Copies of this chain bind each other. A is one copy, B any other.
Amino acid sequence: MAKDTQFVGQIADIEKDFPQWYTDVVLKTKMVDYGPVKGTMVIRPYAYAIWENIQREMDKRFKAEGVENAYFPLLIPMSFFTKEAEHVEGFAPEVAVVTVGGGETLAEPLVIRPTSETIIGSMYSKWVQSYRDLPLKINQWCNVMRWEKTTRPFLRTSEFLWQEGHTAHATAQEAEEMTMRMLAVYKEFAENCLAIPVITGKKTEKEKFAGAVATYGMEAMMHDGKSLQAGTSHYLGQNFANAFNIKFLDADGVQKAAYTTSWGTSTRMIGGIIMTHGDERGLVLPPVVAPVQCVIVPIAAHKAGVSENCRALAERLQKAGVRVKVDDSDNSPGWKFNEWEMKGVPVRLELGPRDIESGKMVCVRRDTHEKAEYALENAETVVTDLLSAVQKNMLESARARRDKRIVYADGMAGILSAVEGGNFVKAGWCGKRECEDKIKEQTAATARVYAEGERAERCAVCGGKAEHMVVFARAY
């Protein structure tokens, strides 16, 4: 690798060509690479470390909800899919099918899981016999596969990593509460860990999960004003319990079908982080999930004591729980500044002979570009405080940017001009599929979620009585 190659300038202009900016950023920061099979990606260490941090934070929250992890088989008999009518219709067109195993053609083709309601349902029917076996709350971290025609790293790939939670309950009320509870867990996680403000709400029939009674989504606004569905929570009613015979003897001596839920989030969230916070210099990573929270760049590294002092500082910060790295490569400080800015590291420290002499260090925030000097002796407090400040500011500025771009419309022209201007649009909807379809045809926007707690008078399409205020947006 040639020294001092400037990355900046190699990234497309975020305002002029956002799709190219995205591709440049994910490749040049070594987050991903394209796999040999079309539509697949390799998640490289820099992005995988973000995923590990996401997993750690989410997993803690799931366990606090009494959810346990388990692992179910990758391959699902094709016949399982046909047991729930809507489910097979939704997923059959996009599955990958194993037809040969151990050199022999299989009697029944096996599907690589696109999601696991069916196979988990078949196991729950064995495990759930009595009301004492309920609630049953299991999550799995795994890979899933959905054959996609058009793919983009993190956002849409044939294989991706995710978590899928599956619970079974004795009553509809309890299952509905669980559905909403996990939606709330997702929202708290997205906002406090990823610094992504989200709108949560119920989805329309058209947009709901294949086989669900109701789907709730969380939607985040990306830099270009498009929406990213960053997680969903489904209330499945008794649909899968009936299809897979999840029955239990209740306390009243009556045999009943259980009520189930499922909920999932995926590596897509990494795309959400990139597209929510990124700027003209590249990534801006929220400290809670950043692989490197603080990079130390030695100034005049050849001078006596500089390297030693940088390493000593790194050790102190590491002990204080900071994910820290000293960049002691041969490149110039300027090159390093650019590289670590592109990689989105929240805090940069610069330490040279004069700083050491005066007991100071220079700190630069990635989010605001603010630069200030602090006493070296307070490094632990300074850096942890800065990381908290960055995390807080990232959420607040993302929220401010988004809130300015949520507009109301009462007709098709208003919806069109709003989404073309990169906004989310709130508009009344009568509840009819044809009006929903018309909006998509004419504006390329889809119904993201119902705007909770808001009411509209008239449907923006047909002028009929509105049943819901809906958030419309173009979406990834």
Enumerate chain A interface residues (CB-CB to B < 8 A): 1, 33, 35-37, 40-45, 48-49, 51-52, 68-77, 80, 92-103, 109-110, 112, 119, 122-123, 126-127, 129-130, 132-133, 138, 142-143, 145, 147-149, 158-159, 161
Contact = CB atoms under 8 A, between A and B. Distances in A.
A101 B110 contact: no
Contact of A99 (B94, B99, B127): B99
A36 B68 contact: no
Contact of A75 (B33, B40, B142, B148): B40
Instruction: Please indicate which of the listed interface residues A1, A41, A44 has the most CB atoms of chain B within 10 Å of its own CB.
Output: A44
A142 B112 CA distance: 15
Given A96-B98, A97-B101, A72 B42 contact: yes
A207 B227 CA distance: 54
Given A35-B119, A96-B101, A41 B73 contact: yes
Given A43-B70, A92-B103, A94-B102, 20 more contacts: A1-B129, A33-B123, A40-B75, A41-B73, A42-B70, A42-B71, A42-B72, A42-B123, A45-B138, A71-B161, A74-B159, A95-B102, A96-B100, A96-B110, A98-B98, A98-B112, A99-B99, A101-B158, A102-B147, A102-B148
Contacts of A138: 45
Given A94-B102, A119-B36, A149-B102, A69 B41 contact: no
Contacts of A133: 1
B74 A145 contact: yes
Contact of A37 (B68, B75, B93, B100): B75
Majority SS of interface residues in chain A? mixed
Contacts of A1: 129-130, 132-133
A36 B77 contact: yes
A211 to B, nearest CB: 18
Nearest to A3: B132
Contacts of A51: 71
Nearest to A143: B74
Residue in A35, A36, A44, A123 whose Cβ sees the most chain B Cβ within 10 Å: A36
Contacts of A158: 101
A76 B96 CA distance: 13
A99 B102 contact: no
7 contacts: A33-B123, A43-B71, A49-B69, A73-B159, A95-B102, A97-B101, A98-B112
User: 3 closest Cβ contacts across the A-B interface?
Assistant: A102-B147, A45-B68, A97-B100
A70 B48 contact: yes
A94 to B, nearest CB: 6
Contact of A93 (B49, B96, B103, B122): B103
B99 A97 contact: yes
A68, A74, A94, A126: residue with the most chain B Cβ atoms closer than 10 Å: A74
Nearest to A120: B42
A37 B70 contact: no
